[in-house]
Amino acid sequence: MIIDIHTHTFPYKIAARAIEHMEEDIVRGQGFEVKCARIPTFQGLSDSTKSAGIDLSVVCPVATNVTQPEKINELSVKANEKMDETKVFNFGAIHPDCENYKEIIDDIASMELKAIKLHPDYQHVFFDDERYIRLIDYAANKGLGIIVHAGEDVGLPDTIHCTPDMVLNLWKHIQPEKLILAHMGGWRLWDEVEEKLAGLPFYMDTAVVLNRRFPVRLGNEQFVRMVRKHGADKILFGTDSPWYDQKQALEDFDNTGLNDDEKKLILGENAKRLFGF
Ligand SMILES: [Zn+2]
């Protein structure tokens, strides 16, 4: 079973404009061009998933203000009803400034959205801020997973809102059981992740880290070393599609030098065990 734990979709009406802005942000932030690798809508993800031979793509919706979560989550529940046909599942959205965060998390749990996605750069809150700590603690107690963007954001590189030190600081207060740090623990902070975080009891996803279109990607040698130091049972395959072609991502992952047992865990077994897909 192959599960892509980290993908994005954009509403049909705003998709083209949103992608255009994000592509410009990447050029401004990184000094090189990375183009969107598929049609950015839900349908585009569903088609890409099927043609890449992936069994399930999981969408990580980012709420950029307090008014969005309820609307996003309602649409996600409806879409999830058709997951057998679409091969797409949506996690829950929430913003750290939501005063009614307990109510939203209760709904996310009862609607079986399985996890929440947090993006500290787009939500303008540091990961070890009290607002994140309280909502992560509450969500974890409801059995939900927490997937967080970690490290630099390619479009907003000036201030990093989730560093390994912030993860360690948060960990002093709470130890959520299903915490997933995206981008192998922190985009472009891999030396620090390897030193400070590898081996600790949380999860990491592989989203976009092996994409050759990014000159700053994680090299195969360090990737394999990190997987083995951290434990292949705590790494989840992800692409960050549309920012990485899913078929290409599978091929690149296959060529990293991991053995078959490690690949099986990372490609799907870990996500299946963690979320009951
Ligand atoms: Zn992402």
Q: Picking from 74-83, 131-140, 154-163, 234-243, which range would have the lowest pLDDT averaged per residue?
A: 154-163
Question: What spacing in Å lies between the alpha carbon of 132 and ligand 1's midpoint?
Answer: 18
Q: Domain locations in the chain?
A: 3-275
Report the C-alpha gap between 177 and 181 in whole angstroms: 12
Question: What spacing in Å lies between the alpha carbon of 255 and ligand 1's midpoint?
Answer: 22
Question: What spacing in Å lies between the alpha carbon of 3 and ligand 1's midpoint?
Answer: 15
For residue 145, give the 3-state DSSP assignment: strand
Q: Which residues surround ligand 1, an ion (CB under 5 A)?
A: 240
Question: What spacing in Å lies between the alpha carbon of 147 and ligand 1's midpoint?
Answer: 10
Q: What number is the average pLDDT over the span 169-184?
A: 98
Question: What spacing in Å lies between the alpha carbon of 6 and ligand 1's midpoint?
Answer: 6
Question: What spacing in Å lies between the alpha carbon of 241 and ligand 1's midpoint?
Answer: 8
Mean pLDDT of the chain: 96
Residue 277 has pLDDT above 90, yes or no: yes
Question: What spacing in Å lies between the alpha carbon of 247 and ligand 1's midpoint?
Answer: 17
Position 1 confidence tier, pLDDT thresholds 50, 70, 90:
very high
Position 40 confidence tier, pLDDT thresholds 50, 70, 90:
very high
For residue 123, give the 3-state DSSP assignment: helix
Tens digits of residue pLDDT in 64-89: 999 999 999 999 999 999 999 999 99
Q: Which amino acid is at 240?
A: D
Give the CATH class of 3-275: alpha beta
Residue 30: the pLDDT is 84
Tens digits of residue pLDDT in 146-170: 999 999 988 888 899 999 999 999 9
Q: Which residues contact 14 (CB under 8 A, 6 or more apart)?
A: none
Question: What spacing in Å lies between the alpha carbon of 102 and ligand 1's midpoint?
Answer: 24
